[in-house]
Amino acid sequence: MSTAPAGTAADAHDAPRPAPPARVDGLSIARERRARRRRLRSLPALVVEALRLCWSARRRDLVLVFGVQLLGALLLGVQVLVGREALTRVFSGGAGGAGAGTGGDLLPLVGGPLLALGGLSVVAGLAGAVRGQRMRLLSEAVQRAVWRRVVDTTTTVPLDRFDDPEFYDRLQRVSTNAVSRPVGVAQGLVSILGGAVGAVGLVVALWAIDPLLLPLLLLAGVPVFLVSRRGGRLEFDFAVAQSGPYRVRSYLRSALTGRREAKEVRAYGLAAPLGARYERLLQEYEDALTRHVGRRMRLSLLSQVLTAASVVGTVAVLLWLVDSGRLSLADAGAAGAAAPLLASRLQSLAGGVGTVLEAGLFLDDLRGFLRLGTPAGRGAQGPAALEPLVELEVDGVGYRYPQSAGPALSGVSLRVRRGEVVALVGENGSGKTTLSKLLAGLLPPGEGTIRWNGTDVAALDPAAVREHVAVVFQDFVQWQFSAHDNIAVGRPDRPDEAGAVPAAAVQAGADALLRRLPGGYRTLLSAELAGGVDLSLGQWQRVALARAFYRGAGLVILDEPTAALDARAEAELFAGIRELMSGRTVVLVSHRFSSVREADRIVVLREGRVDDTGTHEELLARGGLYAELYTLQAQAYLDEGTARAGRAPTGRHAAHR
Ligand SMILES: Nc1ncnc2c1ncn2[C@@H]1O[C@H](COP(=O)(O)OP(=O)(O)OP(=O)(O)O)[C@@H](O)[C@H]1O
């Protein structure tokens, strides 16, 4: 059982399928627009949360960054006033001061302010450099902290999230965008602080020169602010629109470069069509990016024009003030120097606000994503430890996958008691794997109840249930670890007792083959790693079985555990299954009727429902679906046997001739 990710090889030549109905839950991107107003309201809380994250990640650098920014901003106003002092000395000297204007007199007159200006600009430059470098360290530490939380979420969300494309879209946005946003908030706040304090300093300095200058310069900041806010929105909208296509491109890229796909890419000649499809998607992305960049450039242009207009307007007002005798030339010079500074401070202020607003959109996204992994998202938190299984009752259980039109299971009821071997059989797609996942506590039933020793598992901590369960999935993971670790991951918290891993391998019939590997149990099981080797599928299956034995759980669920095993290995496994699993409860999914006939009970599934239940003999006697499928399989062997028997005399005859 598997779901095909968007853009699989199978649909490489097909027209895109219609989008499935959107899942109505917190992930729905369709709600984004409505959520915007709410986000703006929650912005202060998001900002506080982001700062808290920065604080816990690297508080010294956070304080330093804000401190030096404040210092640099305060120095601005002082620089303007010192400049004005220098100009006043020049003009007052030039206007008739004794000896002024003659060679060598001007420098001593303005030397002091000039030196002060030089010193101030060195300190301001230094503050900027310290801020930039410390911000880098802060940024790394915060990203690491956010990543830890993202991984906590991806490893604890309910399994059915992985059947939901919107989860992947959000994960993609969070991974590529939101992770850097908390520190973006700090950066934005630093800009706001620098902009605001610098602007206040300059406003005070300009006020001291002439209060009339202020309204004009302050008004100039408003459009710049609006422009930067719009920029933030554009960025978020672009990220939302691109998350789905990005994942399709990533999938195609990995299909074109991956080891698993390499065989089929060649065997089916898929390199060209998949490559073309990848190129087309890249082209679409580039077109969208070009349009997006164009919009952002037009916005930047607008912002620059507005800034320039404010500078030109200020200079015009200054000239008018000088003309009308209200300002001295020195004041006008100082104000002229201050005007672009103020404009840049206001721009930094507006830019900072824009950054925080933009980060707010992504942070809200991040917060929603992280919540998926919180206890509330995981289900009830019952006792951390459970009694070993005595009885598992499945009562009227139904389940529907997020994207499916119909249920995969409905009205399923069965009982599994300690020590029993219960087999699940049925045709492809009848719901065996889905039921196994529900029994293993990996999926919550959509309807009905599963009771563990009489307690509804919905009221239990899923992790506590899983402690007692070992599963071998049909599509088990081939970990790129050593052979030893491939088995030991079955119970990662189990102390590494000598002999426990080989003992599990012996039970699964994997010990001899693993000992024969170049480095024995230390051999890396991956041809992609230096010194590593790959195993055959059947050998891998034995390793996966050993993993389940090593787990030592009371309930063992085996989903097609022998599909790739050779006839001898399969016969040995099932001959010894009762002994191997003594005291344990086994749920066995299999299409091989030879392996299920010994089960205590066989549950026959048909289209997600229990069609029949009984022992092999009872089911055969009833002549239902089980009997039909069993006879078909047995007949195939009989036919083969007959055919061989029919061919044999010819062969012998031929040999005699
Ligand atoms: N992740 C999924 N998303 C949507 N539908 C799914 C998903 N997995 C399975 N299904 C659907 O649920 C139904 C039951 O699938 P399930 O894998 O449980 O069947 P199965 O009996 O184990 O089949 P098989 O014998 O082929 O392994 C099928 O119709 C399948 O298409």
Task: Write out pLDDT tens, residues 318-365.
Answer: 788 888 888 788 887 777 777 777 777 777 787 788 788 878 878 888
Could you give the CA distance from residue 179 to residue 363 in angstroms, rounded to a whole number? Answer: 9
Q: What is the separation, in whole angstroms, between the first and last Cα of the chain? A: 52
Which residues in 567-584 are b (16+ Cβ under 10 Å) and which e? eebbeebbeebeebbeeb
> How much distance in Å is there from the Cα of 401 to the middle of ligand 1?
9
- The pair of structure tokens assigned to 314 is 């200020």
Which residues in 354-370 are b (16+ Cβ under 10 Å) and which e? bbbbbbbbbbbbbbebb
Which atom in ligand 1 lies closest to the alpha carbon of residue 474?
27
Task: Write out pLDDT tens, residues 201-211.
Answer: 777 877 777 77
> How much distance in Å is there from the Cα of 72 to the middle of ligand 1?
63
Give the residue whose CA is nearest to atom 27 of ligand 1. 1
**pLDDT at residue 422 above 90?**
yes
Residues 408-415, mean pLDDT to the nearest whole number = 95
Which letter does DSSP use for residue 524 in this model? B
Please state, as a whole number, how many other Cβ atoms lie within 10 Å of the Cβ of residue 343. Answer: 23
Could you give the CA distance from residue 583 to residue 576 in angstroms, rounded to a whole number? Answer: 13
CATH 3.40.50.300 holds for 391-468+553-646:
yes
Q: Is the CB of 232 under 6 A from ligand 1?
A: no
Give the mean pLDDT of the chain. Answer: 81
> How much distance in Å is there from the Cα of 2 to the middle of ligand 1?
7
**pLDDT at residue 654 above 70?**
no
Q: With pLDDT > 70 as the criterion, what percentage of the chain qualifies? A: 83
Sorted by where each begins, the domain ranges of the chain are: 26-377, 391-468+553-646
Phi, psi of 96, rounded to the nearest 5 degrees: 135, 10
> How much distance in Å is there from the Cα of 8 to the middle of ligand 1?
18
**pLDDT band at 14, cuts 50/70/90?**
very low
- Alpha helices by DSSP H, listed for 597-624, are 616-622
pLDDT given at position 216: 63
Q: Is the CB of 401 under 6 A from ligand 1?
A: yes
Could you give the CA distance from residue 55 to residue 507 in angstroms, rounded to a whole number? Answer: 52
Strand partners, 524: 482
Could you give the CA distance from residue 126 to residue 140 in angstroms, rounded to a whole number? Answer: 22
If we measure between CA atoms, which residue out of 404, 455, 472, 468 comes closest to residue 608?
404
Q: Is the CB of 635 under 6 A from ligand 1?
A: no
> Which range among 10-14, 66-70, 514-518 shows the weakest confidence by mean pLDDT?
10-14
Could you give the CA distance from residue 487 to residue 504 in angstroms, rounded to a whole number? Answer: 8
CATH 1.10.287.610 holds for 26-377:
no
How far is residue 572 CA from its own chain's centroid? 43
Q: How many Cα atoms within 13 Å fall on the side-chain side of residue 81?
A: 13
Which letter does DSSP use for residue 16 in this model? P
Phi-psi region of 325 (alpha: psi -120 to 50; beta: other; left: phi over 0): left
Predicted complex: ipTM over 0.90: yes
Angle subtended at Cα 101 by Cα 100 and Cα 104, rounded to the nearest 5 degrees: 85
Q: Is the CB of 163 under 6 A from ligand 1?
A: yes
Q: Is the CB of 434 under 6 A from ligand 1?
A: yes
Per the confidence metrics, is the pTM higher than 0.80? Answer: no
Could you give the CA distance from residue 218 to residue 299 in angstroms, rounded to a whole number? Answer: 20
pLDDT given at position 461: 85
Q: Is the CB of 479 under 6 A from ligand 1?
A: no
> How much distance in Å is there from the Cα of 589 to the middle of ligand 1?
13
Q: Is the CB of 3 under 6 A from ligand 1?
A: yes
pLDDT given at position 435: 96
> How much distance in Å is there from the Cα of 162 to the middle of ligand 1?
14
> How much distance in Å is there from the Cα of 412 to the middle of ligand 1?
15
Which atom in ligand 1 lies closest to the alpha carbon of residue 163?
1
Q: For strands 455-456 and 469-472, give the pairing.
A: unpaired
**pLDDT band at 37, cuts 50/70/90?**
low
Give the residue whose CA is nearest to atom 18 of ligand 1. 431
Give the residue whose CA is nearest to atom 12 of ligand 1. 408
